Amino acid sequence: MASEHFDLAINDGVATITFARPDKLNAFTLPMFHHLRDLLDQVDSDDDVRAVIVTGEGRAFSAGMDISGGSSTFDNATGPDPETMFGYREIAGQVTLRIFDMNKPVIGAVNGLAIGFGATVTLAMDVRIAADSAQFGFVFTRRGLVPEGASTWFLPRLVGMGVAQEWMLTGRAVGATEALAAGLVRSVHPPADVLVEANSLAREIVDNAAPVSVALTRRMLWRMQGAPHPQVASRLEGAVIFARGQSADAYEGVAAAKERRAPRFPMRVGDPILDGVNVTAADLLDLPHV
């Protein structure tokens, strides 16, 4: 599925989604939020996709919301939702929560400016790799707004509360070197090397790791951030290890290690994982409540 202002390329197990509105610094219009969510749905449901890279075309990753419409820009950034606490759901959160629920690892290749939503959308990704010219800007207070995209949940978990408070309260620009020191990004590279490095990391996952195990592990790591005691994580790990230990993937992983060859993991996320029991890998992805 192609979409205006986005490019999608799938190559040997790696899907690359590119924000393709470089003349506007890849700023987002309201329809683009829905299109991005649709693209995420597409690559997540494709068993041939094993890892996802998100990047931008030109000198910006994304300048955030397109504010060329003036002061009314954010009037429609939320919509009614009676199932939420206050009756509204903001549009950026629909994207970041979709990334949070992905079965595939998501790598942010931040090639330049990442402002507003351009910064918050990266927080739900698993790894961020940045150009040395990149700048992150949580500028909401400077626009008379507050942070969106569930970023008040994600950012303190990535950089700590003190750093998150400073960056979000001031709304100042955060350079790539400072982002690296705070742990927001994994590494910093010349702009031409960012996508190369992201693809190298994606290939390491695709070529060596079982897709079901990757999906389970990324969800377990995120969900256990709110666990009140390590025993919660231990119980969850026990349940998942019990199921995975009997799987064809586990047998193949051990055999490949013994034979000193690359593994050929046979299982997909929706496959039955326990003989005689109606439990799939997809069911195990929803086991945070233990």
Q: Which residues of 187-196 are buried (b: 16+ CB within 10 A; e: fewer)?
A: ebbeeebbbe
- Give how far the C-alpha of residue 172 lies from the chain's centroid of Cα atoms, to the nearest Å: 23
Q: In this structure, are residues 236 and 220 in contact, taking their beta carbons and an 8 Å threshold?
A: yes
Neighbours of 10 (CB within 10 A): 15
CATH 1.10.12.10 fits 209-284, yes or no: yes
Best CA proximity match to 264, nearest among 275, 254, 256: 256
pLDDT, tens digit, 9 for 90 and up, residues 43-91: 999 999 999 999 999 999 999 999 775 554 455 555 555 455 444 558 9
Cα 230 to Cα 127: distance, rounded to the nearest angstrom: 24
pLDDT, tens digit, 9 for 90 and up, residues 175-198: 999 999 999 999 999 999 999 999
What pLDDT is stored for residue 239 in this prediction? 85
What pLDDT is stored for residue 246 in this prediction? 86
What does 138-177 look like in DSSP terms, one character per residue?
--GGGGT----TTHHHHHHHHH-HHHHHHHHHH--EEEHH
Structure tokens, 188? 């910093």
Place of tokens 């969106």: 148
Structure tokens, 245? 């230990």
Segments making up each domain of the chain, as ranges: 6-206, 209-284
What pLDDT is stored for residue 285 in this prediction? 59
pLDDT along the chain (290 residues), means of 10: 83 97 95 95 95 97 83 51 52 95 96 98 98 98 95 97 98 98 98 98 97 92 91 90 89 96 90 60 53
What pLDDT is stored for residue 4 in this prediction? 82
Biggest alpha carbon–alpha carbon distance for the chain: 64
Determine the residue type at 43.
V
Determine the residue type at 212.
V
Give the C-alpha distances (Å, rounded to integers) separating 11 from 46, 49, 178, 194. Answer: 13, 9, 33, 17
CATH 3.90.226.10 fits 6-206, yes or no: yes
Does the global pTM surpass 0.85? Answer: yes
